[in-house]
Copies of this chain bind each other. A is one copy, B any other.
Amino acid sequence: MNGILVVGSVALDSVKTPEGETHEALGGSAVYFSLAARHFAPVRVVGVVGADFPDKHRKMLVDRGVDVAGLQVLPGKTFRWAGRFGKDYNRARTLSTELNVFEKFDPMLSEEQKACPVVFLANIDPDLQRNVLSQMAGPRLVACDTMNYWIGSKKPAIKKLLSRVDILIVNEEEARKLTREPSNVRAARCLSEWGPGVVVVKKGEHGSLLFAHGRIYPFPAYPIEFVKDPTGAGDSFAGGFVGYISTALDKWSHVEHLKRALAYGTVMASFNVSDFSTRLLDSLTRQALDERARLYWEMLSVPSGVL
């Protein structure tokens, strides 16, 4: 039995950026994560959509090898998000959020889903995240993403959740807000003390920080000339990162394994932002992914023995 279970949002996004716009395009944290992680392991999505969810999206996911048996269909409309990115691509302005069927989301896992060795709890209500986790039959690796929407109102629930999490992936603003620490390094250290042995602080176009075994490892973003749409960058990053980690669960916390995983997360996000919605991830090949990961390491490395 292998595979990654992801629970998160499945959405129709309307996004405007300086490079163009989309109207009700496929989106949502569980979707971006799945399309990224599928390169490394079978992925099972747990989520909810409305009766209006286009068949073509479901079909695309299935064609990419994603298991959508856990994608409930409820009467009503699919979750919708509308947002806008200005010249500062690092910050989205939310124009509207319609939870719709997402409000009634109450995931019940099947036996197959419960048995997944790896689970990724994407950006949903921390109480729901804990609920899903409680149904699991002892996963070997629990990772979870940011919960910006809930930091203000549900900090105790978040802390409870984190005590059962191995890997936390979080934005820098959220890391600082959660911990009230002024620097990313201190925020990562503090979050790690709440539970997760590994913390990744995402900084958007500025890269990320990996905190593991008491040490910090900084990573730059893969440099991109044309950013079209940053939507889903964090979730595709998480998909590449957790996906790669899942390929060697017996040594998942080794620093060298985590660093390679971080390279995959980084280049996955760089692909994702090069086109709107999931367009680029839909067609991305493992070969193109490996090639860019290799380029990324070449950029960073120098011959040893000289410094």
CB of B223 within 8 A of CB of A220, answer no
Shortest Cβ distance from A54 into chain B, in angstroms?
A: 33
CA distance A254 to B259 in the complex (A): 27
How many protomers of this protein does the assembly include?
2
By the criterion CB–CB under 8 Å, are B222 and A302 in contact?
A: no
Q: Tell me if A158 counts as interface (CB < 8 A to partner B).
A: no
Residue of B nearest to A189 (CB): B225
Q: A227-B183, A263-B307, A302-B256 are in contact. Are A206 and B209 (CB under 8 A)?
A: no
- Least CB separation from A262: chain B residue: B302
Residues of the B chain whose Cβ atoms lie less than 8 Å from the Cβ of A226: 183
Give me the interface of A with B, judged by CB distance under 8 Å.
18, 87, 182-186, 203, 206-207, 209, 216-227, 256, 259-260, 263, 290, 293-294, 297, 299-304, 306-307
Q: Please name 16 pairs of A and B residues whose Cβ atoms are closer than 8 Å in the assembled complex, sorted by A.
A: A18-B182, A184-B223, A185-B223, A206-B207, A207-B207, A207-B220, A217-B299, A217-B300, A218-B299, A218-B300, A256-B306, A260-B302, A260-B306, A260-B307, A290-B307, A297-B304
Besides A217-B299, A220-B220, 12 more A-B contacts (Cβ < 8 Å) are A87-B182, A183-B227, A206-B206, A216-B299, A218-B222, A218-B223, A256-B302, A260-B302, A260-B307, A263-B307, A294-B307, A300-B300
- Interface pair A219/B220, CB less than 8 Å apart: yes
B225 touching A183, Cβ below 8 Å: yes
Contacts of A207 in B (CB 8 A): 206-207, 218, 220
Within the complex, the shortest CB–CB distance from A299 to chain B, in Å, comes to 5
Determine the distance from Cα of A206 to Cα of B206 in the docked complex, in whole angstroms: 6
A259 to B304, CA, bound (A): 12
Which chain B positions have C-beta within 8 A of A206?
Answer: 203, 206-207
Residue in chain B with minimal CB distance to A258: B302
Find chain B residues with CB under 8 A from A185 CB.
Answer: 223-225
Distance of A165 Cα from B220 Cα, bound (Å): 27
Among A186, A263, A299, chain B packs the most CB atoms within 10 A around the CB of A299
In the bound complex, CA of A20 to CA of B78 (Å): 52
